[in-house]
Structure 1
Amino acid sequence: MTHIALLIGNDINNINKGTSWNDLLMSIKKKYHVQSLENGQKPFPMLYEEIFLNAIKQKHVDEKELKTFIADAVSAIQQNEIHELIRTLPIQNIMTTNYDFSLEGIHPKIKTSLVNETTYSVFRQYQSLNKNYWHIHGDCNNPFSINLGYEHYCGQLQKMREYVVNGPNYAPSTKVYKTSLIRRLQTGRQMVLQSWVDLFFTNDLHIFGLSLDFVEIDLWWLLTYRARNKFYKKNTFIKNQIYYYIPKKYVKDSADKIQLLAANDVRVEIVDDENKIKYYKAVIKSIKDKL
């Protein structure tokens, strides 16, 4: 296996016809009788909070019930040929913001994480066919782990920053190193992989199928913190390269994001193919060429 990792978003699931995020939101609004709420230009985490808070006022909804409804919906997502192609890559660590298990190709029941997280996902891992799958925003086996609203995003970021900067605070019986990630990296010793966060500093990382909107505050913080350590604090232990793949048709409208990615030491790879399946095959070929 190579020192390359993947971070994959929900767009690879959109190859198959199924439930889109918009369809899911409409279903939630209908179920909880808040159809009058407009999506508009609201950031998704805030729209989720709005739907949830209005549902509480009208139906006294428990959030676990709402997230279980979402977990059941995404569990129905079917794998496609791109999921299969990804599994053929000689890459051991695959991160995803997706809650479903289409990437694994099976529905694993038991987590292999070092820490048994119930809500947040700094260590959330499943193993399948000698690959590690890191569900960084939760998974449908554990509905309360599904990261949707600002409250959850901020809690996730708090846990991530604690792990990277100060060191994780877990019971002594856990197998997790208590020293912060940044200090472990500074020693120059061989790193023991504990969390998906480690991969952002140690592996060449390929990001695709992920819009990486600015509401993804956890990921943008991680990219910024890494770049600050590399350029501002001049920490020479950061030698890995991060790539972000984007279809050419979105480049013009994504100018701000592309500039910010470049500032944060992310190399943007533009792929010129409007057919979704051909686009992802081109991305996978590009990754293979870099192996």
Structure 2
Amino acid sequence: MKLVDVLHDESLKIALVIGNGINRYHSTSDDGNNSWDKMLLALWQKYSQSASQLSAPNGISLIEFYDALDLTKRSDEINLQKEFCGLMRHWKAKEHHVAISSWAKNKGTPILTTNFEETLSANITQEITHFDSKSFTDFYPWESYFSDHKVDDPANEFAIWHINGIQRYSRSIRLGLSHYMGSVERARRLIHPGKGIRLFAGKNVNEWPGRHSWLHIIFNNDLVFIGLGLDTTEVFLRWLLIERAKYFYQFPKRRKNAYFVYADTNDLSPGQKLFFDSVRVQVIHERSYDEIYHSPWSMD
């Protein structure tokens, strides 16, 4: 099976989940630094009081590395989230960004992205829409999206949703383990509220507290992951996939597929394979990155 086969399978209700790989595809020196680990290292060299680092040392994950930087920065007045956003201020949409978002718009397919910058929505709109402006918070803008129209049902309409924060709202940026744990707790309160309609209750599935957020897509669409490693640093997404698997185990008739697409020459680690098997994510290995970011979106 190939990515293009999944995209053309009309039995699926697809949602794309896009990571930073899309920004690294066909990037040049003119694009500047678009590697998140190198961006964090640049901030470490600039702001940490600890010894300089040429790479994140063994024994610490990238998200823990951010927390270590936050704990050792030279001044509490340094806003690392805002500084990180500043490193992305010159990023521009490329041809493949436009092709993918245009394909999704034409197909009515939702896009979830773990990226902070707005390159995917650049050719769609500069305006962000909130489901409820009164309850909007720039700390967790989970009910905010970019689209060419007002969205009523996140799972069945095109819009671009940012999972880990949006560049224009620096407080929303999720970079560290502490940030990810905060996201887990917020999602848990929506998925498993102490009172009210629970997603896992099985009834009124369109009335649960997360129905107006991108979380609704996680549980109601066939997910296609591209440009993401989904490794052990992706704590939040992995936890959501576990919750999703539990939900489908309880309600098997509602089960949706998930696909992890990659083109790395290295094989997946045994741990990754075990995790994907346990949460029922199918792996698709493409021969080249062109088969992920170029050819599938240029077809009729």
TM-score of the pair, normalised by structure 1: 0.81
Whichever residue aligns with residue 15 of structure 2, its letter is A
Q: Per-residue deviation at 1:85?
A: 1.4
Q: Per-residue deviation at 1:52?
A: 1.2
Whichever residue aligns with residue 72 of structure 1, its letter is G
The match for 1:238 is 254
Identical-residue share of aligned pairs (%) = 24
Could you tell me whether the CA contact under 8 Å between 1:271 and 1:282 is conserved in 2?
A: no
Q: 5 Å matches for 1:127-146?
A: 127-128=147-148, 131-146=158-173
Whichever residue aligns with residue 67 of structure 1, its letter is Q
By relative contact order (CA 8 Å, sep 6+), the higher-ranking structure is: 2
**1:81-136 per-position Cα deviation (integer Å, ceiling 9, x unaligned):** 21111122213311000000000125735342434122234334232467311101
Could you tell me whether the CA contact under 8 Å between 1:112 and 1:127 is conserved in 2?
A: no
Classify 1:228/1:236 alpha carbon distance in 2 versus 1 (closer, same or farther; 3 Å): same
**1:243-278 per-position Cα deviation (integer Å, ceiling 9, x unaligned):** 11111513x2433212211210111111112xx334
Q: Does 1:43 align with 2:61?
A: yes
Whichever residue aligns with residue 126 of structure 1, its letter is F
Q: Any unmatched runs of 5+ in structure 1?
A: 169-177
Choose 276-285 or 109-118, whichever is displaced more: 276-285
- How many angstroms apart in 2 are the aligned matches of 1:189 and 1:228? 15
Q: Does 1:85 align with 2:63?
A: no
- How many angstroms apart in 1 are the aligned matches of 2:50 and 2:90? 24
The match for 1:175 is none
Classify 1:255/1:246 alpha carbon distance in 2 versus 1 (closer, same or farther; 3 Å): farther
The match for 2:139 is 119
- 1:48 partner SS: helix
Q: Does 1:269 align with 2:284?
A: yes
Q: Any unmatched runs of 5+ in structure 2?
A: 1-9, 151-157
Q: Does 1:258 align with 2:276?
A: no
The match for 1:94 is 111
Q: Does 1:10 align with 2:25?
A: no
- Please give the root-mean-square deviation of Cα atoms over the aligned residues, in Å: 2.7
Whichever residue aligns with residue 100 of structure 2, its letter is I
Could you tell me whether the CA contact under 8 Å between 1:121 and 1:156 is conserved in 2?
A: no
The match for 2:47 is 32
User: Which of these residues, 165, 174, 182, is aligned with residue 192 of structure 2?
Assistant: 165
Whichever residue aligns with residue 175 of structure 2, its letter is L
- How many angstroms apart in 1 are the aligned matches of 2:48 and 2:70? 11
- How many angstroms apart in 2 are the aligned matches of 1:229 and 1:3? 17
Could you tell me whether the CA contact under 8 Å between 2:262 and 2:285 is conserved in 1?
A: yes
User: Which of these residues, 195, 206, 211, is aligned with residue 229 of structure 2?
Assistant: 211
- 1:26 partner SS: helix
Q: Per-residue deviation at 1:236?
A: 2.8
Q: 5 Å matches for 1:64-75?
A: 65-75=79-89
Classify 1:206/1:34 alpha carbon distance in 2 versus 1 (closer, same or farther; 3 Å): same
**1:55-101 per-position Cα deviation (integer Å, ceiling 9, x unaligned):** 0xx32334xx2211111212321211211111222133110000000
- How many angstroms apart in 2 are the aligned matches of 1:190 and 1:202? 10
Q: Does 1:60 align with 2:76?
A: yes
Classify 1:35/1:14 alpha carbon distance in 2 versus 1 (closer, same or farther; 3 Å): farther
Aligned length: 267
Higher helix share: 1
User: Which of these residues, 246, 249, 252, is aligned with residue 265 of structure 2?
Assistant: 249
